[in-house]
Amino acid sequence: MSDVILKLENLRVEYRSRELGQETKQALNGLSLAVHRGEVFGFLGPNGAGKTTTMNVLLGFVTATAGDAWLFGVNVRQPIARQRIGYLPEMTYYYKFLTAEETLRFYAKIFRIPKGEVDSRIEAVLKLVELHHARHRPIKTYSKGMQQRVGLAQALINNPDLLILDEPTSGLDPLGRMKVREIIQRLRNEGKTVFFSSHELGEVETVCDRVAILHQGELKAEGRVSELVRHYKQNNLEQVFLKIIGYHELHDSSNLAGRAA
Amino acid sequence: MRVYSLAVGLLASLALSLAVCLEPWFQSWKGSRTKSDGLLQTALGDGRKLFASHFYAKADAYFHNGYYPTVFDNRDGYAKAHIAADMHKEGEEDEAAENYLGKPRDWIDAFSRHFYPARHTHLGDSGCGHSCCQRAKDGQGHADDCEHKGHEEGHHGAKRSDEREILPWLRFSEELDPERVETYVVCAYWLRGALKKVDEAEQFLRMGLRANPGDAELLFELGRIYFEDRGDPVRARNVWELGLKNWRQRESGKPEPNVFLRAQLLGYLATLEEKQGNYARALEHLTALKTISPHKEAIQRWIDEIRYEHTP
Amino acid sequence: MNSTTLPTSPAAPRDFALAAPTGASTWTNVWAIAGVVIKELCRRKDFYVLFVLTALITLVMGSVNVFNQENVFRYLKEICLFLIWASSLVIAITTTARQIPAEQENRTLFPLLAKPVTRHQVVIGKFLGCWLASGAALAVFYLFFGLVAAAREHDWPIVNYLQAATLHWFALGVLCAMTMLGSLVFAAPSSNSTIILVVSVSILLVGRHLNKVALKLSEPLQTVVQAVYFAVPHLELFDVRDLIVHDWGLVPWLIWAAAFAYAAVYSALFLALACLRFRRKAIH
């Protein structure tokens, strides 16, 4: 059985503009990546690098212009590829008229979790995300943090082997961020694979086994954090990141231009 | 918060007191209040006449158990069929003539006829609406080779129901357009004829007269109630003579006066006077009637009868 | 956060061999999505407001004194049925029109499509939910109608009412499918609702007569109108109010079944187009 859970091969995504005279925007250009079982993989890049586009392709929201992607060896175009994954979007929105329990029950039905197991699984997940006390309240009465936790709960309801998280700590307070880190650690200990994007490089450095850095739709670097730090002769991941995206050259050239003026 | 509640309470009391003080004065004010429109009239505005027409047509549709042509249908066929209630007594099968729909033009037309009333019937008919069945109900029997011979009452069509079902729509039509005289006349006809509600018919006609003062047609119908239902020839005469007088004032100057109405008034007055023994008056009315009626021979015979039997 | 671990499911595959999708799994997803739509209708105020309005107007109209005549009931049946049709059109069209656009706007579509659910299942599930929800609303409306009619008429032709209600429901199926397609074509739910409402009312009023109108026109307009006449779904076929009000007999059951087949064909056509449209639609 292959050890590769997630695989991208020469992925290219272009967005054609509907307006006349506007150029086609290339979001991804020949991205190839592989994530192995049990890894915690960080997917990094500045805004507009193509991280969300990559996730959209993995989840079937967007069709790649060229190349392919696989989850568990199944092409992502087939819905069954999503049977064993959990997805937490950056912005968490769920049916406001449903309660947390009803939401989880709905997703449990889609995952075809056996009827005898649904109650215990919902109970466990709600306790894990500390929403047990609010399970019967409609989601529209929840705070932002509580809604984020509903998102986490629905991502975990099917006990996924691969968790895809899109900026999971975005908008959370320090306590919330710590709790997300704890969950990621727990999942790693259970042998799950986690694939997540984040801007919090400090967090990434702490939890990730490997990272990939994307810039302008292209993969610029991939590997263990320690290897990348050594290779780029920097002190930490943040400096590696800035070097890869060319921050210092850009900064120096703009300084030169300023002095010349 | 307490101050706010007190202020609101005070304002409410003030408003109520004002209303109580002003109400008696308003009641005595005979200005536009008596002529003010109801809520429905105000809401619909001038469009109410359209609705009144629609409700009047609705009453007619109800009389035909929902079988009624639209603006898109062949009205000529229906107009002919409309008086076919009398033709039930004729020997021939007149069903084809009663059918404004005609033959189905396509499969959708044919299919759709299962979903709406597609046969000419009247409230109070045998039910299935076939002319032969109506004649059978009246005791004339089916022909031996009639395909509807086995039909029982209520078969295939509407159940029997009284003409009362048309009344609400006439009521609504009157509410929206009190100046439509036809509504009062038709409604009064059914109230006193089929439903034996003479008091209500009279009341309705009087409502019509309030909205249309001195209307000859309404006076004619009112006179019929006094003469045929109340047995009060004096009031009937007064009302009919007033009707005749108003007709002369309003209709005689028109390029196409309602001659039929005048004929009806003269005919009924003649009948009344004959029954009361006022033969001279009866002859006066019949002479005037003869000048406008198409049935001059019949009227002449009537005149001759009166002269022969009652004049010295 | 507490230290509860997630229970592992003995039934869930622990290796990476994935079970192939089955027809049963498709219907599970469709029913799950439909269930959410039905819950939504039950928790929104639309239905309750329209029902109360219908009941109020019917009861007020029922209290009108018609020349001291008792047992006048046809007009009441007509008014009640008219209100039921108007309310059901509003409920079906507005409920369906906001399904997919609301999912996109509220971004609830992403967690849904991130599950093993196809876009086709979403469209069909939403349609089924709207149709069933409209049917549930219809059942309540017709029950009220039956009670009002029975109170006046002292008769309860239940089979006739059932037949009328089911035919009405078939029509709502076609409308829901049409609206679902519209929601994927038109930009805003409000414009979709308005257009579908206008189209459906036009079909109900003049659909039956287009062939007669065509005869009075010259070419090429005659051909165009004839084509429209044969192409549009004839919703007026399902409107048997006149038969109910005027106490005509039952529609033959074979004809009723043919009407159901007619509705099914049009609904399937609109849904197929909707699925095709949604398959290509960018949702990010």
**Residues C41-51: tens digit of each pLDDT:** 888 888 899 99
Task: Look at B137 and B265; give whichever has higher pLDDT.
Answer: B265
Determine the residue type at C84. I
Which burial class, exposed, middle or buried, applies to C86 when counting CB atoms under 10 A from its CB (0-12, 13-18, 19+)?
middle
Burial degree of B46 (CB within 10 A; 0-12, 13-18, 19+): exposed
- Is the minimum CB–CB distance between A113 and chain C shorter than 8 Å? yes
Check B204 against C67: CB less than 8 A apart.
yes
What would the two tokens of residue A134 be? 């609010």
> Of C5, C13, C113, which is closest to A60 when you measure between CB atoms?
C113
User: Quick check: C67 and B165 CB within 8 A?
Assistant: no
Distances (CA, A) of C104 to A98, A143, A147, B232: 17, 21, 18, 79
CA distance A66 to chain C (A): 16
* pLDDT of the residue at C133: 95
SS3 sequence of chain A: CCCEEEEEEEEEEEECCCCCCCCCEEEEEEEEEEEECCCEEEEECCCCCCHHHHHHHHCCCCCCCEEEEEECCEECCCHHHHCCEEEECCCCCCCCCCEHHHHHHHHHHHCCCCHHHHHHHHHHHHHHCCCHHHCCCEHHHCCHHHHHHHHHHHHHCCCCCEEEEECCCCCCCHHHHHHHHHHHHHHHHCCCEEEEECCCHHHHHHHCCEEEEEECCEEEEEEEHHHHHHHCCCCCHHHHHHHHCCHHHHHHHHHHHHHHC
Q: Is there a domain that residue B176 lies in?
A: yes
Q: C and A: touch, per 3+ CB pairs < 8 A? A: yes
Nearest by CB to residue B200, choosing from C68, C75, C255, is C68
**Does the N-terminal peptide bond of residue C220 adopt cis geometry, omega within 30 degrees of 0?**
yes
At residue A257, the pLDDT reads: 54
Tell me the C-alpha distance between C158 and C97, whole Å: 33
Residue from C199, C176, C164 nearest C38 by CA: C176
Residue B273 falls within a domain, yes or no? yes
> What is the DSSP code (8-state) at residue B104?
-
Number of A to C CB contacts under 8 A, please give it. 131
Q: B-chain residues within 8 Å CB-CB of C72?
A: 164-165, 167-168
For residue B195, give the nearest of C69, C237, C243 by CB distance: C69
pLDDT in the model for residue B29: 61
| Residue range of the domain that includes B225 | 163-310
Q: Strand order of the sheet with strand A85-88?
A: A85-88, A162-166, A193-197, A40-44, A210-215, A218-224
Establish if A14 touches chain C: CB-CB under 8 angstroms.
no
Instruction: Let me know: does B95 contact B76? Beta carbons within 8 Å.
Output: no
Nearest to C123 by CA among C182, C72, C67: C182
User: Could you report the per-residue pLDDT of C164-181, keeping only the tens digit for each?
Assistant: 999 999 999 999 999 999
Among B157, B195, B197, beta carbon nearest to C248: B157
B82 in Cβ contact with B120 (< 8 Å):
no
Q: What's the pLDDT at C161?
A: 95
Residues of B in contact with C255 (CB under 8 A): 111, 114
Q: pLDDT tens, B24-77?
A: 776 666 555 555 566 666 777 778 888 999 999 899 889 888 888 777 776 655
> Rounded CA gap, A72 and A76, in Å?
9
Q: Mind telling me how many Å the CA of C79 is from chain A's nearest CA?
A: 34
A161: chain C residues, CB-CB within 8 Å: 16
Closest chain B residue to C68, measured at CA: B200
Q: Which of B116, B200, B204 sits opposite C243 (nearest CB)?
A: B116
Question: What's the pLDDT score for residue B241?
Answer: 96
Whole-number Å distance between alpha carbons of A223 and B2: 70
In 3D, which of C94, C102, C101, C97 has the Cα closest to residue C49?
C94
**CB–CB contact A61 C113 (8 Å):** yes
Among A106, A121, A137, A173, the strongest candidate for a mutation testing the C interface, having the largest count of C CBs within 10 A, is A106
| Segment B70-122, tens digit of pLDDT | 777 766 555 543 433 343 444 444 555 556 778 888 999 999 999 999 877 77
Q: Which amino acid is at A5?
A: I
Q: Hey, where are the domains in chain C?
A: 25-280
Q: Is B161 on the interface with C (CB under 8 A)?
A: yes
Contact B167 C66 (CB under 8 A): yes
Taking the C-alpha atoms of residue A161 and residue A155, their distance in angstroms, rounded to an integer, is 11
The angle subtended at Cα A17 by Cα A13 and Cα A18, nearest 5°, is: 135
pLDDT digits (tens, 9 = 90+) for C260-279: 999 999 999 999 999 999 98
Task: Name the nearest CA neighbour of C84 among C154, C140, C40.
Answer: C140
Residue of chain C whose alpha carbon sits nearest to that of B162: C72
Question: Does residue C139 have a pLDDT over 90?
Answer: yes
Q: Pick the more confident residue, C3 or C89.
A: C89
Q: Do A98 and C29 touch (CB under 8 A)?
A: no
Say whether pLDDT at B207 is over 70: yes
Strand-by-strand arrangement of the A4-15 sheet = A25-36, A4-15, A66-71, A74-75
Residues of C in contact with A148 (CB under 8 A): none
Judge: B111–C206 Cβ closer than 8 Å, yes or no.
Answer: no
Return the SS3 of C14.
coil
In degrees to the nearest 10, what's the CA dihedral of A90, A91, A95, A101?
50
| Spatial separation of the C-alpha atoms in residues B273 and A89, rounded to whole Å | 97
Between chain A and chain B, are at least 3 CB pairs below 8 A? no
Q: Does the beta-carbon distance from C116 to A82 stay under 8 Å?
A: yes
Separation CA C129–CA C40 (nearest Å)? 10
- C215-253 pLDDT, tens per residue? 889 989 999 999 999 999 999 999 999 999 998 989 999
Q: How far apart are CA C121 and CA C44, in angstroms?
A: 24
pLDDT 10s digits, C76-129: 999 999 999 999 999 999 999 999 999 988 889 989 999 999 999 999 999 999
Total number of domains in chain B: 1
Determine, for residues C167 and B115 on separate chains, whether the beta-carbon distance falls below 8 Å: yes
Mean pLDDT across chain B, nearest whole number? 80
pLDDT for residue B40: 65
Give residue C123's identity as a one-letter amino acid code.
Answer: V
From chain C, the residues in CB contact with A94 under 8 A are 108, 111
Q: Does A65 touch chain C (CB under 8 A)?
A: no
Closest-approach residue (CA) in chain B for C237: B112
Task: Show which of residues 182-241 on chain A sit within 8 Å of chain C, judged by CB atoms.
Answer: 182-183, 186, 190
H or E element that contains C235: none
Residue that the structure tokens 């009803």 belong to: A102
Chain B within 8 Å of C228 (Cβ-Cβ)?
Answer: no
CATH number at residue B301: 1.25.40.10
DSSP B210-243: HHSTT-HHHHHHHHHIIIIII--HHHHHHHHHHH
Instruction: Check CB contact under 8 Å for B112 and C237.
Output: yes
C246–B164 CB contact, under 8 Å: no
pLDDT at A143: 87
- Chain B touched by C203 (CB under 8 Å): no
Q: What pLDDT does C128 receive?
A: 97
Is the residue at B302 inside a domain?
A: yes
C228 min Cα distance to partner chain B (Å): 13
Give the whole-angstrom CA distance, residue A244 versus residue B228: 110
Contacts of C44 in chain A (CB under 8 A): 97
Segment (H or E) for B292: helix B279-292
pLDDT of residue B104: 87
Residues of chain C with C-beta less than 8 angstroms from the C-beta of A6: none
More confident residue, C182 or B139: C182
**C99 close to C183: Cβ distance less than 8 angstroms:** yes
List, run by run, the mean pLDDT of 10-residue segments along chain A (261 residues). Answer: 83 79 81 92 89 91 91 90 90 87 94 91 91 91 87 91 89 81 87 89 87 91 90 87 76 55 51
Does C59 or B97 have the greater pLDDT score? C59
ipTM, interface predicted TM-score of the complex: 0.85
Burial (Cβ within 10 Å: 0-12, 13-18, ≥19) of residue A121? buried
Q: What is the pLDDT of residue A20?
A: 66
Residue C17 confidence (pLDDT) above 50: no
Closest CA relative to residue C74, chosen from C149, C6, C184 = C149
B chain contacts of residue C243, beta-carbon cutoff 8 Å: 66, 115-117
Q: How many beta-carbon pairs under 8 angstroms link B with C?
A: 95
Q: Does residue C112 contact residue A154 with C-beta atoms inside 8 Å?
A: no
Backbone angles phi and psi of A253, in degrees to 5: -65, -35
3-state secondary structure of B119: coil
Rounded mean pLDDT, B195-202: 92
